[in-house]
Structure 1
Amino acid sequence: MKSILITGASSGIGRATALEFLNAGWRVGLVARRTGRLEEMAGDYANAEALPADVTDPAAMERVFERFVGMAGRLDVLFNNAGMFGPAGPIDEIPVEAFDEVIGVNIRGMFIAARLAFAQMRRQQPQGGRIINNGSLSAHNPRPGSVCYTSSKHAITGLTRSLSLDGRDFGIACGQIDIGNARTELVDDLNRRALEQNPEAELMPMMDVGDAARSVLHMAQMPPEANVQFMTVMATTMPYIGRG
């Protein structure tokens, strides 16, 4: 049975992706801070394991990896997904503490998970595996008022490229999925903010979050000699091309 560890698995893209892999027969490690949500999901599947932890805590994440690999025998895929948007607005209205929080989750947290996954994949036999980072369309073009989130997601593109290069000698592939406007709690919150500022605002086009989840499964199922380096999956009519 193939194994995958998913961070941010309690909601949004992480939860939808976890369900997609569980239904496909993978052994799935569910990582997030909300224990209740993870245990509820794991209770419905024999191939799921709830692993509550804060992705920014290196010791807690090390215990997560040890426990999951101890049960699964190896780690085939990490979906490095946990992230947050943070406050919206021009940079002079963003508290430094809020910026630090976004960077802590979106960069530090993803670095910690990738570091542990890389180490496991490097030493396991047979050697190798796959790391899939959740980027964003904001890794390429920002939406207004997103300086914290956009800065962090540009960094993730650098992380993806570095892991792809450094993983070659160890059979470790790394790819990035950039998702635009999948219907999640995060996007619902962005819509809520937009309506608060302007009740007449036109809400963003959406796609079903399951379409994003199936795209992650496609990336994970590639054979070892093939890799989806970057994939963009977005609501068809969202203003991405040409925005800035």
Structure 2
Amino acid sequence: MSKHSLPRTAIVTGAGSGIGKSAALALLADGWQVVLAGRRADPLHHAVDESGAGTRALAVPTDVTNPDSVAQLFRATVDAYGRVDLLFNNAGIGAPAVPLEDLTAEQWRAVVDVNLNGMFYCLQAAFRVMKAQSPRGGRIINNGSISAHAPRPRSIAYTATKHAVTGLTKTAALDGRAYDIAVGQIDIGNAATEMTERMAAGILQANGQIMEEPRMDVGIVGQSVVYMANLPLQANVLFHTVMATSMPFVGRG
């Protein structure tokens, strides 16, 4: 259990699998109350069951691209637990790795809608709750990516939206100061999830070669989120990069 005496409440989006699930389970193991949000109900309920956290875990199916669905998520959280202390703004998708001129408008819009619009809607809803609650304030951790700094080949939609997440993080960190809202960003490189399985099989590099890339245990990301989440609100990790040590990021290209 957490060393904190009062229960604290987190919302994790994209919590049914991968990084979101890892973070939700890590927060629950640390004593948090966690609302797991995602598009698909079954994986959320499976994660709740796996946690063994009982009433400290709640599954709320949510479409982050729909502002009304996001508002309902935050209402359900406040109804269940009284407040929101942490948002892990994690939900995200990629597009097919095709030449940029072949990416369809629909594929582009889908990535922008989840990775940028959805993240903004969740950020906005968190601000509304955190500014109004007592005690005031809270923490928001946006999931950026290594791609918020350096692109992979054929990743224009994902990379553009992840660069935009950095703009959301910096602006929200500034706007949150007056309300005891700390906003930071976690940039993750090659966590072993379903999304990164292609890296273990071999992925296109900037020089045109296909190369296998090392990955790290996704549980390490959960540990990083817990570390950031447990800081007092007078301190903020504005940017945190956690990555597989031997992956080709520093010096990529």
> TM-score, normalised to structure 2's length?
0.92
Match of 1:22 among 5, 28, 46: 28
Q: Does 1:42 align with 2:48?
A: yes
Aligned counterpart, 1:150: 159
Aligned counterpart, 1:33: 39
Does the aligned pair in 1 maintain the 2:173–2:183 contact within 8 Å? Answer: yes
Q: How does 1:1-244 map to 2 (within 5 A)?
A: 1-43=7-49, 44-46=52-54, 47-191=56-200, 194=203, 201-244=210-253
One-letter amino acid of the counterpart of residue 45, structure 1:
A
Segments of 5+ residues of structure 1 without an aligned counterpart are: none
Aligned length, in residue pairs: 240
Does the aligned pair in 1 maintain the 2:201–2:212 contact within 8 Å? Answer: no
Quote how far apart the aligned CAs of 1:69 are: 1.1
Quote how far apart the aligned CAs of 1:88 are: 1.0
Segments of 5+ residues of structure 2 without an aligned counterpart are: 1-6
Distance 1:173 1:45 in 2: 27
SS in 1 for 2:242: strand
Does the aligned pair in 1 maintain the 2:202–2:212 contact within 8 Å? Answer: no
Does the aligned pair in 1 maintain the 2:64–2:114 contact within 8 Å? Answer: yes
C-alpha RMSD of the superposition: 1.5
Residues 193 and 206 of structure 1, relative CA distance in 2, 3 Å threshold: closer
Q: Percent identity?
A: 48
Quote how far apart the aligned CAs of 1:96 are: 1.4
SS in 2 for 1:63: helix
Quote how far apart the aligned CAs of 1:144 are: 1.1
Q: Structure 1 residue runs of 4+, over 6 Å off? A: none
Distance 1:141 1:60 in 2: 32
SS in 2 for 1:167: helix
